[in-house]
Amino acid sequence: MHSSLVISQADARPMYLQITEQIRMRVAAGDWPPGKELPSIRALAADLKVSVITVKRAYLDLETEGVIVTRHGKGSFVAEAQERVQASQRAELDEHLAAAVRIATTLGLRDEELIARLRSVLHPQEPPA
């Protein structure tokens, strides 16, 4: 079974985090709809050429976040209640943005400068306005 997930050895992040983030992104994008069965832990580990423990850790983290549910003897599936997951992700984004505002304030940046920096991160190929 081909999972369409990719592990990069050049990526400094742990392999389980790469798996977790890719699954989270597929669910958030709607590529993997609620109820979709995920590859078994063993099948995904074999497909990605990683240990079963690595995939198990990723699935456990995703289950704790509410992204997936695991039914004993049946497998793991994308959770039905994705609104709660998205609300949690929005709250996390808000925390990061609040931290950015605190740092900008410490640096003495004006609102316009902070917004310009955010735009440059959003659209790195565009020249500054």
Confidence of residue 1 (pLDDT cuts 50, 70, 90): very low
Say whether domain 15-80 belongs to CATH 1.10.10.10.
yes
CA–CA gap between residue 68 and residue 37 (Å, rounded): 9
Confidence of residue 128 (pLDDT cuts 50, 70, 90): low
What residue ranges do the domains of the chain occupy? 15-80, 83-122
Task: Give the confidence band of 90 by pLDDT, cuts at 50, 70, 90.
Answer: confident
Q: Give residue 82's pLDDT band: very low, low, confident or very high (50, 70, 90).
A: low
Report the number of secondary-structure helices (H) and strands (E) in the chain.
Answer: 5, 2
Q: Which of 13-17, 41-45, 54-58, 118-122 has the least mean pLDDT?
A: 118-122
Give the mean pLDDT of 23-41.
Answer: 91
**Number of residues that make up the chain:** 129
**Residue 77's pLDDT band (boundaries 50, 70, 90)?**
very high
Helix axes 82-107, 111-122, angle to 10 degrees: 130
| Per-residue model confidence (pLDDT) at position 29 | 83
Instruction: Provide the percentage of residues in the chain whose pLDDT is more than 70.
Output: 91
Find out whether 38 and 76 touch, Cβ atoms under 8 Å: yes
Q: Which residues make Cβ contacts (< 8 Å) with residue 128, sequence separation at least 6? A: 116, 120
Q: Are 19 and 5 in contact (CB under 8 A)?
A: yes
First and final CA of the chain: distance in angstroms? 48
